[in-house]
């Protein structure tokens, strides 16, 4: 039986195709190709300013996002590029995750969180309360600056 006969045979052509498919799938698992091409999807859901008298950062601006990916995503705050608003001080450990309608951790925030699919989280930036009021920040929405997060190591920028 020649290669041409095998290729044209209704049974053997399917066996050869199955072997080729098994090799490709096996190599993709071995080399983790699907993970290399998988891109995390985070979506901005809500932004708002909040005054908290007596807090270390009395004027905060919150960014809430949801994980629209099919997998868990590790999220970190990377950097902030100011536009119309200056910060009191840039802090990276400002993440909270929503569980059962409440934000955790409650007292302090954390540096990194793992988000399940469809799970929400928020980060805040500490606006300089000596220069801006809550009304100023709300009026400047869309011109505050850019908060960059990393999701599984990939940078994602959000205009605030």
Q: Tell me: do 28 and 47 sit in the same domain.
A: no
Give residue-wise pLDDT tens across range 80-97: 999 999 999 999 999 999
pLDDT tens per residue across span 24-39: 777 766 666 555 567 8
- Angstrom distance (rounded) from CA 150 to CA 74: 8
Taking the C-alpha atoms of residue 122 and residue 110, their distance in angstroms, rounded to an integer, is 11
User: Are 86 and 102 within one domain?
Assistant: yes
Tens digit of each residue's pLDDT, the chain (160 residues): 777 776 677 877 778 788 888 877 777 666 665 555 678 999 999 999 999 988 899 999 999 999 999 889 999 999 999 999 999 999 999 999 988 889 998 777 889 999 999 999 999 999 999 999 999 999 999 999 999 999 999 999 999 9
Question: Which residue segment(s) compose the domain that 22 sits in?
Answer: 3-36
Q: What single-letter DSSP state applies at residue 94?
A: -
Do both 16 and 60 map to the same domain?
no
Residues 111 and 152 in one domain: yes
Number of domains the chain contains: 2
Per-residue confidence (pLDDT) for residue 129, from 0 to 100: 94
19 and 46 assigned to the same domain = no
Of the candidates 67, 32, 47, the one whose C-alpha atom is nearest the C-alpha of residue 134 is 47
Residue 51: Cβ within 10 Å count: 13
By residue count, the chain amounts to: 160
Say whether both 138 and 111 belong to one domain. yes
26 and 14 both lie in a single domain: yes
CATH number at 94 reads 2.60.40
| Residue 108 CB neighbours (<10 A) | 8
Same domain, 30 and 85: no
Please check whether residues 106 and 28 belong to one and the same domain. Answer: no
Q: Are 60 and 109 in contact (CB under 8 A)?
A: no
């Amino acid at each position: 039986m020649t290669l041409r006969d095998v290729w044209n045979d209704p049974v053997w052509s399917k066996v050869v195709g199955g072997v080729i498919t098994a090799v490709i799938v096996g190599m993709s698992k071995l080399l983790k190709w699907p993970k290399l091409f998988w891109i995390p999807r985070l979506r901005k859901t809500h932004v708002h300013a909040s005054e908290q008298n007596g807090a270390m950062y009395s004027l905060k601006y919150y960014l809430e996002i949801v994980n629209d990916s099919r997998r868990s995503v590790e999220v970190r705050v990377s950097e902030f590029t100011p536009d119309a608003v200056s910060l009191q001080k840039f802090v990276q450990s400002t993440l909270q995750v929503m569980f059962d309608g409440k934000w955790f951790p409650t007292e302090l925030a954390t540096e990194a969180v793992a988000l399940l699919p469809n799970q929400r989280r928020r980060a805040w930036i500490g606006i300089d309360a000596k220069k801006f009021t809550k009304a100023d920040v709300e009026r400047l929405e869309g011109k505050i600056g850019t908060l960059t997060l990393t999701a599984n190591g990939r940078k994602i920028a959000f205009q605030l």
